[in-house]
Structure 1
Amino acid sequence: MKPGDTLLRDTFNTFGIHIMQKGHTLQREDIAKLLQHGVDDVDIEEVFSEPADISQSLSSHPLQDAKVQFNSALEGFEDLFLNAAARGEFDGSQVDDKLEPLLTELQEQKDVVSVLLFLNDDNNYTYTHSLQVGMLSYYLATWMGYTEQEAYQAGKAGYLHDVGKSKIPSHILNKPGRLTTEEFEEMKRHTIYGHDIIMQSTGDKISAMVALQHHERMDGKGYPHGLSLDEIHPLSRITAVADVYSAMTTARVYQTKQELLRVLKELHKMSFGQLHAETAQTFIRNMLPNFIGKQVLLSSGEVGQIIMTNPSDFFRPLIKTDKGFTDLAMQSNLDIEEIFM
């Protein structure tokens, strides 16, 4: 697509929401809007222009450069994961080469919800999830006051936290239904496998510790060792929060993705006993402002925009639709089905 092209058909996003009308002549901001909504295929009547115009239109979205780095880091993790599956180790020197450019690019991006919505790949949960956890761990460490170097370490540990799943048999890892007791016991071993693979590949003790501990819980009911409270490394607590949020908001073979604010509410509940309270609350507090201005699809079928966070219920905001304002805190019969840019 480039400025001047004309849409030959009405354009809808993946949720069936009408985005742009047939016959509309595209401008750069229209192309950015289509990118924001995840529309990557349209029927157009082309107009021919100089290559410079095409280049400018492709780079019009503020996250376009980050998307390039995201795809590179995603490919890097796939290569890392497959090598770990085949050889029990990976080339540790490639981790920083793939991850550092992405996290450097994200330093300027403050709207984390837009980052998650734009930088996504639903085709492979395992790889996308690991990259999301790395990004969220980096952001969360920053919000908690860690230095840039410490935040990068948190992001790196999050990026590698699930590498142990490379040793889980595919019939268990990709099983669409509920795991048996025996299968779940094997799945839990990915934490131990991950620790050993990272130590063998890089000798990075902190990343290895996070891989081992990211399913431990403050109440001692996690795995693999049933640790609790201060026995759990601070970066493991960060990755645990990022891991839960990404897992619940990403589509998997056995679970559809959940609405972003609803998952924040679930994290709030988990902060009372399971997840580290300060870490989870810091994540929630810094994520909530990012939802202001986002488009939503309501359970009524209406499309609206989040206007403000509701002080009586942070997770049920005020929505503006074509019909007026809808206060979800006052209308329990309505829910947000999907949030998009």
Structure 2
Amino acid sequence: MSINATQSEKMIHIPITQVLPGMVTARDIYSRNDQLILVKGTRLLPNMIAKLMFYAIESIYVYKTEEDINSDSSYYNRIKQSEDFKNFKQTYDDVMVEIKDSVNLLLHYSNQVPEQQLLHKVEKIIRTSKNRFHLFEMIYCIHEHDDLTFIHSINVALICYVFGEWLQIPPQEVKILTICGLLHDIGKLVIPKEVLNKPGPLTKEEYEIVKDHPEQGYLLLLNHKMDDRIRLAALEHHERYDGNGYPLGKYGNEITPFSMIVAIADVYDAMTSRRVYRGAICPFDVIKLFEEEGKQQYDVKYLIPLIQKIAEIYINHTVKLSNNQKGEIILLNKDCLSRPVIKVDNEFIDLSKHKDLRIETVI
């Protein structure tokens, strides 16, 4: 939806992390390879914000607006009120403090990454979940937290652990992949906090500082004893299969496999992350982005099995469609995972054949 906006004095330049549903784009938005993503005057919906994150858009120009859209759902509210989630969150918060201490020790006093120690902390969180699907639901609800850098890193580690199992990677290798996920954003810890946590718009120079975190992370880990793939994940997690990533513009198989898996986990967590002020993005909007546009940016031999498994999480779940009908997901369409078959009362609706409908939220 595009609207007219004439009050240019209200135009502001803000980081993507501060973009809210209801804001209106003040300029056309293009990807790194000059593909038009959204036109000026678009009123942003949660799935559009997810798309901007998918394309690693760092900031946009918007008009100020008072409107907001609450994309939360009763399903995830129920999870947050459950004893399972309360226990999960308690363990998660305790482990986050421990991981912070370990990483600070690594940064300032040690030349060896305590891989086993870090892994045991991540596994402590995993053991509080009933199964891997349950873990994803817990992660989906955990994002409301002040320390976004550490919470994102722990989430990516958890997601990498599960992805590794789903991809049938040998257990010892899954452990390395998990540490790759945990330390992928370590370069952000050397960025001045006043820049990283700046509440208002960043200057062009400040954005360049933030975008330098992959190289900073690699350099920070360079003199530490570790599997080299951990360093490379810090360096390469913003690289893309089509060569349109950064910092080195690597292409295809130039990107190491673990870095590619971390990249998928990184953007998945960023898109599904909840913010108190924004709510969460519908998982099927995320799956749709990966299906339609991710095949150019990510290695499909990792991407396709992962989004298949993510979609399977929601079989037998109740959803609300864009026409306000409610129904149950009963079957996935292998070639169109974001458009499953929904049972609404006694009717079966195949969303792959009803392009005018979409899943709006899980309820």
TM-score, normalised by the number of residues in structure 1: 0.71
Cα distance change of structure 1 residues 141 and 165 upon mapping to structure 2, 3 Å threshold: same
Q: Distance in 2 between matches of 1:14 and 1:332?
A: 21
Amino acid at match of 1:170: K
Q: Distance in 2 between matches of 1:14 and 1:284?
A: 21
Cα distance change of structure 1 residues 310 and 227 upon mapping to structure 2, 3 Å threshold: closer
The answer (yes or no) to whether the contact 1:136–1:242 under 8 Å persists in 2 is yes
Cα distance change of structure 1 residues 319 and 332 upon mapping to structure 2, 3 Å threshold: same
> Percent identity among equivalent residues?
30
Cα distance change of structure 1 residues 91 and 14 upon mapping to structure 2, 3 Å threshold: farther
Q: Distance in 2 between matches of 1:327 and 1:304?
A: 12
* SS of aligned partner of 2:132: coil
Pairing 1:188-267 to 2, within 5 Å after superposition: 188-199=211-222, 203-251=226-274, 257-267=280-290
Unaligned runs of 5+ in 1: 1-12, 20-33, 41-57
Pairing 1:119-134 to 2, within 5 Å after superposition: 120-124=142-146, 125-134=148-157
The answer (yes or no) to whether the contact 1:14–1:38 under 8 Å persists in 2 is no
Q: Distance in 2 between matches of 1:166 and 1:157?
A: 16
TM-score, normalised by the number of residues in structure 2: 0.67
Cα distance change of structure 1 residues 175 and 304 upon mapping to structure 2, 3 Å threshold: farther
Give the deviation of 1:228 after TM superposition.
1.6
Give the deviation of 1:80 after TM superposition.
5.1
Q: Distance in 2 between matches of 1:204 and 1:288?
A: 32
Confirm whether residue 74 of structure 1 aligns to residue 96 of structure 2. yes
The answer (yes or no) to whether the contact 1:194–1:208 under 8 Å persists in 2 is yes
1:276-300 superposed Cα distances (whole Å, 9 cap, x missing partner):
1211112112222111022323344
Q: Which has the higher contact order (CA 8 A, sep 6+)?
A: 2
Q: Distance in 1 between matches of 2:199 and 2:349?
A: 37
Look up the match of 1:318.
341
The answer (yes or no) to whether the contact 2:106–2:113 under 8 Å persists in 1 is no
Amino acid at match of 2:317: K
Look up the match of 1:166.
189
Amino acid at match of 2:80: G
Amino acid at match of 1:239: V
Cα distance change of structure 1 residues 181 and 216 upon mapping to structure 2, 3 Å threshold: same
Amino acid at match of 1:213: E
The answer (yes or no) to whether the contact 1:164–1:193 under 8 Å persists in 2 is yes
Q: Distance in 2 between matches of 1:77 and 1:90?
A: 17
Confirm whether residue 145 of structure 1 aligns to residue 168 of structure 2. yes
Unaligned runs of 5+ in 2: 1-69
Q: Distance in 2 between matches of 1:252 and 1:81?
A: 25
1:191-210 superposed Cα distances (whole Å, 9 cap, x missing partner):
12222333456545321211
Amino acid at match of 2:96: L
Give the deviation of 1:166 after TM superposition.
1.6
232-241 vs 307-316, greater mean Cα deviation:
307-316
Give the deviation of 1:16 after TM superposition.
6.5
Q: Distance in 2 between matches of 1:78 and 1:283?
A: 29
Look up the match of 2:207.
184
The answer (yes or no) to whether the contact 2:71–2:280 under 8 Å persists in 1 is no
Pairing 1:72-111 to 2, within 5 Å after superposition: 72-79=94-101, 87=108, 92-93=113-114, 94-103=117-126, 108-111=131-134
The answer (yes or no) to whether the contact 1:83–1:90 under 8 Å persists in 2 is no
88-97 vs 109-118, greater mean Cα deviation:
88-97
- Corresponding residue pairs, total: 291
Cα distance change of structure 1 residues 333 and 326 upon mapping to structure 2, 3 Å threshold: same
Look up the match of 1:44.
none
Look up the match of 1:9.
none
Look up the match of 1:55.
none
* SS of aligned partner of 1:268: helix
Q: Distance in 1 between matches of 2:304 and 2:237?
A: 17
The answer (yes or no) to whether the contact 1:89–1:197 under 8 Å persists in 2 is no
